[in-house]
Amino acid sequence: MTDDIKSSLGPLHIPVLLIAFRRHDTTLRVIEALREAGVTRIYFACDGGRDEAEWAKVNKVRSLVDQFDWPCQLQTRFNDENKGCRVNPSESIYWFFEHEEEGIILEDDILPDISFFYFCQELLEKYRHDNRIWSINGSNLMSSCETENKDSYYFSSHGYGNYWGWATWRRSWEKFDLDIEQWPRLRDSGLLDSYFLSSDEARHAKRWFEISWIGFDGWDYQFDFAKILYSARNIIPTATLTSNMGFGDDSTHTMNVNAVQNQSDLYQAEFPLIHPKFILEDNRRELEYFRRYLKPSLFQRFKNRIKAILPENIEKAVTPILSSIQRKLGL
């Protein structure tokens, strides 16, 4: 099917940023997907290690530059120190958009279907000058959600933090603020009260924006915050075109292999794409997505309540125990 796509749609010209760290095997699989797709402009960023053992893994990942053995332009950005999940991805994306107006961003544990590249390439061009569109996502955990709509994608304003293979424009990233300095003002203004679709969503989003403002080791909720500030929407494919291979103990944020978000399904986009007639969100689908994948489970709410009432020193001791129970129960 890859050859059919290439022959019908022609060569790819879209640039790709690959952000890696210490996972050699998954990074290699992503590079193999880039080779198969025939990506010709690649930016390869890799964070530094925190200790000698981690540096050994990082250097093994960096040695994968030898795998870019097809005709392509390769630029690298290798950190001399560890900058973490908050700073390194955001700095790498800034670096990418210093050179490019638009492009695809992949992390070392995100496996794309070949059609994902063509999907992004077409939509980056179609919505290039439409400020209502914020990004193009590859992941759709709602692929199994039945709908009579035959469109190839839909629009979303209310998904949070799920940038598992995505594309955007410099115009969107320029509005990004890692420190979300406007959060306290917006939080206290009351302007967000009418934005959320439910009280549960409001609590969830506000909690993560607060954590991100304080200094949570991540960047994606900040990107969603900017999306809200500018009344923009993400594009979501009808069926998922990327798969997150990163669930497990070696992960920073997706350690629970039993999490409902851990899905290995991978689909192929069908061309020609069927474009929606209206740039509007389906709030019923948005609410169902929140209910399935974002609303904290009963155990998680219990865990949060317990942590909130404990003294800090006891809370730090109890948290790993509660997290271990949660992972074993798949909650």
pLDDT bin (cut points 50, 70, 90) of residue 320 is low
Same domain, 308 and 288: no
3-state helix, strand, coil in the chain (%, to 5): 45, 15, 40
Q: Is the pLDDT of residue 306 over 90?
A: no
How much is the pLDDT for 293? 79
Same domain, 277 and 259: yes
Same domain, 241 and 267: yes
CA 8 to chain centre: 29
Same domain, 95 and 178: yes
Average pLDDT (249-269) is 62
How much is the pLDDT for 317? 61
Taking each helix axis from N to C terminus, what angle separates 52-62 and 24-37, rounded to the nearest 10 degrees? 10
Q: Structurally, how many domains does the chain consist of?
A: 2
The domain in which residue 214 lies consists of 2-295
Global pTM reads: 0.85
pLDDT bin (cut points 50, 70, 90) of residue 156 is very high
How much is the pLDDT for 35? 98
The model's pLDDT over 186-242, given as tens digits with 9 standing for 90+, comes to 999 999 989 999 999 999 999 999 999 999 889 999 999 999 999 999 999 999 999
How much is the pLDDT for 161? 82
How much is the pLDDT for 201? 93
- What is the average pLDDT score of the chain? 87
Q: Which range (49-58, 219-228, 231-240, 317-326) has the least confidence?
A: 317-326
Same domain, 240 and 317: no
Same domain, 23 and 154: yes
Same domain, 92 and 187: yes
Token look-up 């190839």 returns 152
Count CB atoms within 10 A of the CB of residue 208.
20
Same domain, 231 and 262: yes
Same domain, 277 and 306: no
Q: Which range (12-21, 25-34, 47-56, 257-266) has the least confidence?
A: 257-266
How much is the pLDDT for 309? 59
Which residues have C-beta within 8 Å of that of residue 149, sequence separation ≥ 6? Answer: 238
Same domain, 288 and 308: no
Q: How far apart are CA 229 and CA 236, in angstroms?
A: 20
How much is the pLDDT for 313? 56
How many Å is the maximal CA-CA distance in the chain? 63
Same domain, 315 and 291: no
Q: Please give the order of strands across the beta sheet that includes 73-78.
A: 73-78, 41-46, 16-20, 102-107, 166-169, 133-137, 233-237, 153-156
Same domain, 25 and 162: yes
Above pLDDT 70, what percent of the chain? Answer: 81
Cα torsion at 189, 282, 139, 187 (round to 10°)? 10
**Can you give the CATH number for the domain in which 252 is found?**
3.90.550.10
Q: How far apart are CA 77 and CA 59, in angstroms?
A: 13
